[in-house]
Chain A
Amino acid sequence: MVDFSLWDILRNLLMAARWTVTLSLIAFIGGGIVGLLLLVLRLSGVRGSGRAVGAYVQLFQGTPLLMQLFLAYFGIALFGIKTSPWTAAAVALTLYTSAYLAEIWRGCVAAIPRGQWEAAQSLALSFYEQLRHVVLPQALRIAVPPTVGFLVQVIKGTALASVIGFVELTKAGSMISNATYQPFLVYACVALLYFALCFPVSLVAQSLERKLHGNRH
């Protein structure tokens, strides 16, 4: 039997943590792009678009992320496309993130006074010009803190990808704990690594929030 030192455990967990970071970034960036498209669609006033995007958001916010992962994993395979835990996790987390970001950003756009839209309209700007030059730049300012805060949610969400067999930090933790028979130590290390990833992001989000509110009052 091979003995595992604390360093062996930590080193292997750190290697796996790279995949947690990669998956988080893919979901966050992909989700940001899809979320922005959803936001524009919702604001465009196309008939039924508001309802459709609302239903999409409700669907992802009202069901467990774990079920979404399973559905992506088995659903993509159903169409005869060979799927890996990696693609299923990336797809599910991207869609999940997009729903939340679309909703967060909708709130930020709603916080922009109507007069801004009307003023832009009276300058004969088209809908996309109003959005691009007047509304979104202002909405962006208030959108940054909650968006950064949501990144923590995404990082924690990637832990569920372990359940469909994607080897990231949590899955690596299970495997190492099965090999070393030291679940207490291993899961404590896993938790601390997540904390090391998430806590700085939380702090940044908090300080951004405070800065924003400091400006306003």
Chain B
Amino acid sequence: MLVALDFSAVFSAWPLLVRGVAWTIALTLAGTVLGLLLGTACAWARARNLGPRVPPLRWAVAAYVELVRNTPFIVQLFFLFFGLPALGLKLSPEAASVLAMVVNLGAYSAEIIRAGIEATPRGQIEAAQSLALTPGQVFRRVVLPPALLKVWPAMVSQIIIVMLGSAVCGQISTPELSYAANLISSNTFRAFEAFIVATLVYLALSLLARRLLMWAGARFLVGR
């Protein structure tokens, strides 16, 4: 039972892999930035200790969060990419991928950030109010930074889960890393080797991303 592995065919297709990695990073960056913005907005809308007292808005956000957290990412992606054109909204594979990642991370990060917001001591909010800060200022300058700092490790894990989840986006022909692996495997018939290489690149990316994000969190969230 001798298994002969031949990686040369995979490595000679390195431009494809590089393009794939670049796309994976770009998707993750766009998804993370927009997803965190959406998540923060939803967390604010749902937080029990501040935010708008508008029940319909809270219900809508709660429904969105639970719906996304209890369905697979691949179904969300297929719904956006294949389903939305029926409503006249046709998205490119790349746009659908980013949108799906934003929608997905938005729901998860909303719950993570909300936990941080609700852990803010009452006195801190009251102190900020007594300094005549507007509600917007209280949220942006007093509540949000320490809340984000508190939940940052959980956030980093979630961002990495979304990055790894982006491997599914190759299924709608977004040219990211797993798509490159699929392409190489069908060009060279070296499927196992292609996926081994792609998997190890994903592993390196996730280790790197964790270090970078933890460093960035400590650097920029404390620095305020």
Contact = CB atoms under 8 A, between A and B. Distances in A.
B4 to A, nearest CB: 9
Contacts of A187: 75, 78-79, 82-83
B169 to A, nearest CB: 10
B192 A75 contact: yes
Nearest to A192: B71
A78 interface: yes
Contact of B199 (A67, A174, A191): A67
B1 A191 contact: no
A118 to B, nearest CB: 30
A74 B83 contact: no
Contacts of B195: 67, 70-71, 74
B70 interface: yes
A70 B191 contact: yes
A202 B207 CA distance: 29
Contact of B203 (A62, A79, A184, A194): A62
Contacts of B69: 152, 202
A198 B71 contact: yes
A194 B82 contact: no
Given A62-B206, A64-B202, A67-B199, A159 B74 contact: yes
B56 interface: no
A187 B109 CA distance: 24
Interface stretch (B32-40, B117-125, B160-168): B160-168
Interface in A178-208: 182-184, 186-188, 190-191, 194-195, 198-199, 202
A88 to B, nearest CB: 12
B164 A63 contact: yes
A160 interface: yes
Contact of B73 (A58, A71, A156, A173): A156
Contacts of B76: 191
A87 interface: no
Say which size band chain A's interface belongs to.
35 or more
Contacts of B196: 71
Contact of A194 (B72, B83, B84, B164): B72
Given A160-B72, A195-B71, A188 B83 contact: yes
Residue among B70, B164, B199 having the largest count of chain A Cβ atoms under 10 Å: B70
B178 interface: yes
A63 B207 CA distance: 10
B168 A202 contact: no
Contact of B198 (A59, A67, A183, A195): A67
B78 A173 contact: yes
Interface in B187-224: 191-192, 195-196, 198-199, 202-203, 206-207
Contacts of A194: 70-72, 75
A67 B86 contact: no
A80 interface: yes
B62 to A, nearest CB: 12
Nearest to B86: A184
A177 interface: yes
Interface string B142-155: 00000000000000
Contacts of B82: 177, 183-184, 187
Contacts of A199: 66, 70
29 contacts: A62-B164, A63-B202, A64-B167, A64-B199, A67-B167, A71-B196, A74-B191, A74-B192, A74-B195, A79-B1, A156-B70, A156-B71, A156-B72, A159-B73, A170-B75, A170-B78, A173-B78, A182-B86, A183-B78, A183-B82, A184-B79, A184-B86, A187-B78, A190-B78, A191-B79, A194-B71, A195-B71, A198-B71, A202-B70
Closest 10 CB pairs of A and B: A159-B72, A64-B167, A198-B70, A184-B86, A183-B82, A184-B83, A187-B79, A156-B72, A64-B164, A62-B206
Given A62-B207, A70-B195, 18 more contacts: A64-B168, A64-B178, A66-B168, A67-B167, A70-B191, A74-B195, A152-B69, A160-B74, A163-B171, A170-B75, A173-B75, A183-B86, A187-B79, A188-B83, A194-B70, A194-B72, A194-B75, A202-B66
